[in-house]
Amino acid sequence: MATATAPAPTRRRRSANAARSARKIGLGLLGIVGMLATWQLIPTLGIVSPQYLPYATDTLANLFGEMRDLEFWRNVGRTLSLWGTGLAIATVAAIVLGTLVGLSRFLRKATHTTVEFLRPIPSVALIPVAILIFGLQPQAGLVIIVYATFWQVFVQVLYGVADIDTVARDTARSYGLSKVSQFRSLIFPTSLPYLMTGLRLGAAVALILTITAELVIGIPGIGSQITNALTVGDWLTVYTYVLVAGLLGLIVNLVFRFIERHALSWHQSVRGEEVL
Amino acid sequence: MPDTLLKVENLKKTYESSTGIVEAIGDISFAMHQGELVCIVGPSGCGKTTLLKCVAGLLRPTAGVIELDGQPVTDPPENMALVFQEYGRSLYPWLTVRGNVELPLRHKKLSRAERDRLIDDALHAVGLDHAAKSYPWQLSGGMQQRVAIARAVAYQPEVLIMDEPFAAVDAQTRADLEDLVRTLHRERGMSILFVTHDIDESVYLGERVVVLSKSPTWVQEDLHIDLPEDRDQITTRAMPRFTELRTHVYEQIQRAKRGEAVRAHG
Amino acid sequence: MTLYTTTVVTPPPARRRWKGFLIQVGYAIGFPIVLIVAWAIWTGISPQKFFPPPLTILEAFVDTWIGPAFFTDVIPSLYRLALGIILSIAIGIAAGTLIGLVRWLRELLEPTLEFFRAIPPPVIIAPVLIIFGIGDDARVIIIVAGSIWPILLNTIEGVRATDSVMTETAKSFALTRWERLRYLVLPSASPRIMAGVRQSLSVALLLMVISELFNNASGLGYKIKYFQTNYLIAEMWSGVLLLGLIGVLLATLFGLVERRVLRWYHGIKEVERA
């Protein structure tokens, strides 16, 4: 009779998993390098003139140069603070209104059509209005940032509050829990995952609109750097700041995914796909 | 002597898993003839599903030979149909019942009329005529499994392989489905390879019961079930011979679990 | 053997049905009417420089958009939007399917693609403008360059997550690769793909407006900016209203398509919930 094989040492298991992730990371890095190489090749081969698409190497060098300049970081700071302010205002408003509307069936039904009409309005449509009222100031940008971000978070809070398990709620009511403690022990924990998702989506949207506002209205920040560079034909700076915007977007995304995952580490995620 | 339909010779399958090399199947040999209903039982984890997947061409054996109709099995053969345990994940939710049954027939060169006839016939055979336009998820578990069976039947395979198909179904439904399998076997002469962990089921259904040992698996016993062809849930299960057979199989499995059975060499 | 338990359903009497219908309508338009009336009263009491009364806006809407402007500005903008969206969907799904199915390709490209997705869409306008200039083509390219990422990445995710049992089923029935793609992979990925399409619709609309705010040519965004710089306030609001209607129209169209395509998916959700 064949003998059963003894389990191999843990070193083998670790090495199998490590090999798999190493391969994944390796390929990913290879992809990025490949992308940079392609970028470098396009102007080199003249597919697009280097005047219109600067070399990758030049762009990266410029980026590192900029990062040594204090003004660069001030611009990043301006963008981030505008983003943060908009996100904060929108989130607070969304939580308050979302909870109020979500808890009342009447309000939900009454406001449904209004919400479904206002929500798809592109925030950028309000840019001319904002400029009229506030001029070319950061406040104008704040209007469109808050408008777009609000809906993201609001809808999620609405789902979250409405998702309360009816059995759980009936149980709470039958035990005579006060409204406050109902909120604390039932409503808040149930809607927290939705809020986290809303926050992540809202953060991304807020960043997009912040940079949009800077681009279009000229509010100082990363976006305005791009516009200024465009006007004077400084293509190198344009591409540099495109990279910066991308990196910023990536970082914001990663940070909020991290937050979301950790806030929800004790809670099973039941929702499917999200909506931007 | 009916022809040998399926031949498994010295099948061996090893895996490399995160905990080391697992020898799922040590050495399995058996043969199945045309028109037979063979049940395979064994202790948990003895590689029944692995065996089925190798026979079905979904997995490559590490060693050994599998032949269907004299042809070696490398990829899933055209003339074989599978019914999985997880019917929920095996039926396609975006297709209706009829759509699901029709799907495997699409690439068989059949006229539309011929195809429809096969589908209607299969649905009728499993008693789901009325459900053709429903979606699988609108049906109960037992009905969904019937859809999976209908799908296999409509395909008109030479051999039907069923991998613990009734494990996830309640007992009453299971009884109905077992009878359905017997009916299909007898009325259509289908060759069926049926894997189960339910000993009573294996004896009730099978003409032969192949008992597997524990891992690394080999064929512990190949038992002929000499119960009458005409079986039903109440009388057959009350027969003394049934009790004898099932006790025997049960004892074999216990021995298999304890690793007591000794492999006869040569 | 019956498959379904039958509950006897008596249709409600006619008068009750009417009442139910009216209540629905009431909920639908009640709050909006309240808002509009409030706006009218507010602007009536103290005329606002930047907030014209609703009737004025409505007049401006009819005057501005129902006429030649519709054909010189609105239709071309919508045409570019539609073209951009269609291209994004076609390229996104095609490329996404390919990448999703080939594992090494996916691992190779995914980080790079995630980076491109992280670039705020309006920023992409700059390089496109530089390389492709200011034409109509450029404006469509802008829309595609910005809105393709959600579709692409969602398709990759959806294709990759095909259920293994379903795949084994397909293989066991000897379905060809194309058949698997058409009857298994793509339908199974469709919920994720539709979620991506929804995201990209809002990005496309955003880019359509912005690309026109930038360029001094024609188009809806351009017109609105023109009104704003020339202090034609009511007209400007009418433009905002029109954009809002377009946004709602897009969302509704998408909702209709999605409900049809994902009927099975919503059905499963309902069954689970019950």
Domain assignments of chain C as residue spans, ordered by start? 54-273
Which residue among C1, C166, C172 sits closest to B58, beta carbon to beta carbon?
C172
Answer yes or no: is pLDDT of C131 > 60. Answer: yes
Instruction: With respect to residue B151, please indicate whether it lies within any of the assigned structural domains.
Output: no
pLDDT of residue A171: 76
Residue A12 has pLDDT above 60, yes or no: no
Portion 88-127 of C in contact with B at CB < 8 A: none
- The answer to whether C123 contacts A246, with C-beta atoms less than 8 Å apart, is yes
Q: What is the average pLDDT across A214-228?
A: 91
Answer whether residue B110 is part of any domain. Answer: no
Regarding predicted confidence, which is higher, A248 or C135?
A: A248
**C223 CB near a chain A CB, below 8 Å?**
no
pLDDT, greater one: A62 or C4: A62
DSSP assigned state of C171: H
Q: Please tell me which residue of chain A has the smallest CA distance to B25.
A: A2
Task: Establish, for the pair of chains A and B, how many residue pairs have beta carbons separated by less than 8 Å.
Answer: 26
On whether any CB of chain A is under 8 Å from the CB of C160, the answer is no
Neighbours of B172 (CB within 10 A): 9
* DSSP-assigned states of every residue in A157-222: HHHHHHT--HHHHHHHHHTT--HHHHIIIIIHHHHHHHHHHHHHHHHHHHHHHHHHHHHHH--TTH
pLDDT: which is higher, B206 or A20: B206
Would you call C5 an interface residue with chain B, using a CB distance cutoff of 8 Å?
A: no
What pLDDT score was predicted for residue A2?
41
Count of B–C CB contacts within 8 Å? 72
Mean pLDDT per 10-residue segment, chain B (266 residues) = 77 79 82 91 82 88 88 86 88 94 89 93 92 92 92 91 90 90 89 91 92 84 87 89 92 82 58
Q: Do B135 and C264 touch (CB under 8 A)?
A: yes
A 16-45: CB under 8 A from B: 16-17
ipTM of the complex: 0.82
Residue A276 pLDDT: 32
Query: C11 or B52, which is more confident?
Result: B52
Closest approach of A272 to chain C, Cα-based (Å): 9
Q: Nearest CA to CA, how far is B238 from chain A (Å)?
A: 38
Q: Indicate yes or no: CB of A212 within 8 angstroms of CB of C122.
A: yes
Pick A2's closest partner by Cβ from B19, B21, B26.
B26
> Under an 8 A CB cutoff, do A242 and C198 touch?
no
**pLDDT tens, residue by residue, A30-70:** 888 998 988 888 888 888 888 888 888 889 999 999 999 99
**Percent of chain C surpassing pLDDT 70:** 92
What's A56-263's CATH class? Answer: mainly alpha
Selected residues 31-90 of chain C with any CB under 8 Å from a CB in chain B: none
* Banded pLDDT at A267 (limits 50, 70, 90): low
Lowest mean pLDDT among B27-36, C100-109, C141-150, C208-217: C208-217
Cβ-based interface (< 8 Å): residues of B facing C = 53, 56-58, 75-78, 80-82, 84, 86, 89-90, 92-95, 103-104, 106-107, 127, 130-131, 134-135, 137-139, 143, 155
CATH of C54-273, one of 1.10.3720.10, 1.10.10.10, 3.40.50.300, 3.30.70.920: 1.10.3720.10
Residue A261, pLDDT > 50, answer yes
Q: What are phi and psi of B63, to 5 degrees?
A: -155, 160
Share of chain C above pLDDT 90, in %: 40
Q: Is the pLDDT of residue A273 over 60?
A: no
Q: Is the pLDDT of residue C13 over 70?
A: no
By Cβ distance, the residue of B16, B20, B262 closest to A1 is: B262
pLDDT, residue A13, reads 57
All residues of chain C having their beta carbon less than 8 Å from the beta carbon of residue A207 are 120
pLDDT of residue C125: 87
Find chain C residues with C-beta within 8 A of B130's C-beta.
3
| Statement: residue C209 has pLDDT above 80 | yes
Question: Does the distance separating the beta carbons of A16 and B23 come in below 8 Å?
Answer: no
pLDDT digits (tens, 9 = 90+) for C141-195: 999 999 999 999 999 999 999 998 999 999 989 888 999 999 999 999 999 999 9
Nearest Cβ partner for B20 among A2, A12, A17: A12
Beta-carbon separation of C267 and B94 below 8 A: no
Contact B75 C174 (CB under 8 A): yes
Mean pLDDT of chain A: 83
Sheet bearing B80-83, strands edge to edge: B71-72, B63-68, B4-17, B20-33, B217-224, B208-212, B37-41, B191-195, B159-163, B80-83
Chain-chain contact of C173 with B103 (C-beta, under 8 angstroms): yes
Q: Which chains touch C (3 or more CB pairs under 8 A)?
A: A, B
Count structural domains, chain B. 1
pLDDT digits (tens, 9 = 90+) for C23-78: 888 888 888 888 888 888 888 887 777 788 888 888 888 888 887 777 788 888 89
Contacts with C60 from chain A: Cβ below 8 Å: none
CATH number at residue B236: 3.40.50.300
Question: Is the confidence at residue A271, as pLDDT, over 60?
Answer: no
What's the pLDDT at A165? Answer: 64
